[in-house]
Amino acid sequence: MARIYAAGFFSTVSPKNAHLLESPPAHVLEAYPAAKRPAVRRAIEESGKRVFLDSGAFVVHSRGKSIDLREYTKFIHDNQSSIEYAAALDVIGDPETSYDNLRRMEDDLGTRKVLPTFHFGEDEKWLERYLADGHKHICLGGMVRCPPTKLRPWLSRLWRRYLDQSDLKIHGFGLTAPNLLTAFPWFSVDSTSWANAAKHGEIFVNFREEQYTRVSLASRSPAQRDPFSLKAVTHFDLLTSWHQEALVADFERKGFTLADLREEHTSRWRWNYGVLDKVARKIPAKLPSSEPRQRWLLGGYRD
């Protein structure tokens, strides 16, 4: 079964919610800038989990900063027992430097010890080079701010031309749009959406097959209960009574209550990750053989 990594779990949990560390999600991704903090590193070690380590280049770059290659490489070397996979240090918009970083890290850590990342918008010759070098586990990045109208044909092209190989593992950074997940045979993906939505009082809801949306339960945000609000989130209080009753029944079947989900963001965390974990079970093991089936999946995409 494909994996959905809960990005930032250990770095998100605060001391007052420390009990959550006793039962972390099955799969967790942490970015290097957060993972190197003593408290986060200690939480990872005490959990016994091995995390997917991302370089954090995307966030750091957006803040006008950079990551030291030697320090990042040394961190991976010193914490191998707590790291399941580690992404090489990529440089947004500079695939040549990203490739050089990968080679330098492999010189220090060993061949295939770090994963290359191919980004949306890069020349496909770099993906071809990673494949020619023998990489069997590759990450796709640069998708967080990319509109689905551009992601759909790009992913379809990559899979049809390069990635439809049974021995390849593909990870999607920052991708949990259900209909893009269930259209392609991902090995794994990650996202912070489970926590970001919960922080804003929102949960993921599956109203119809293959289509998911966000529903706000926030009791302290009157604007979100305004039927004329421009926010693209439906509020629970504005749903039909039938939908409300169906959701409450679903909450209770899964061990939640409406009150808990309204007031406790940690309950929303657990709910949202559970929904994503359910989506992971629908990710195909290989590309759908039916073209109409794949077109239907992609056409049903909703954020």
Question: For 150-164, how does the pLDDT look when each residue is reduced to its tens digit (9 = 90+)?
Answer: 898 999 999 999 999
Judge contact between 54 and 29, C-beta under 8 A: yes
pLDDT value for 291: 61
> 3-state DSSP call for residue 190?
strand
The H or E element containing residue 234 is strand 234-235
pLDDT value for 230: 43
- Domains of the chain with bracketed CATH: 3-195 (3.20.20.105), 201-276 (no CATH)
pLDDT value for 24: 81
- Enter the DSSP assignment of 111: T
Return the bridge partners of 29, or none: 7, 52
Q: What is the pLDDT of residues 72-91, one digit of tens each?
A: 999 999 999 999 999 999 98
Judge contact between 140 and 187, C-beta under 8 A: no
Provide the CB-side half-sphere exposure for 276 (13 A, CA).
30
Burial 213-244 (b: 16+ CB within 10 A, else e): bbbbbbeeeeebeeeebeeeebbbeebeeeee
Cα(169)–Cα(61) distance, integer angstroms: 26
pLDDT value for 20: 75
Judge contact between 88 and 114, C-beta under 8 A: yes
CA-wise closest residue to 105 among 131, 127, 77, 132: 77
pTM: 0.89
pLDDT value for 229: 46
Across the beta sheet with 211-216, the strand order is 202-208, 211-216, 234-235
Ranges in the chain, pLDDT < 50: 223, 227-230, 300-303
pLDDT value for 231: 54
Which sign does the torsion angle of CA 2, 101, 130, 120 carry? positive
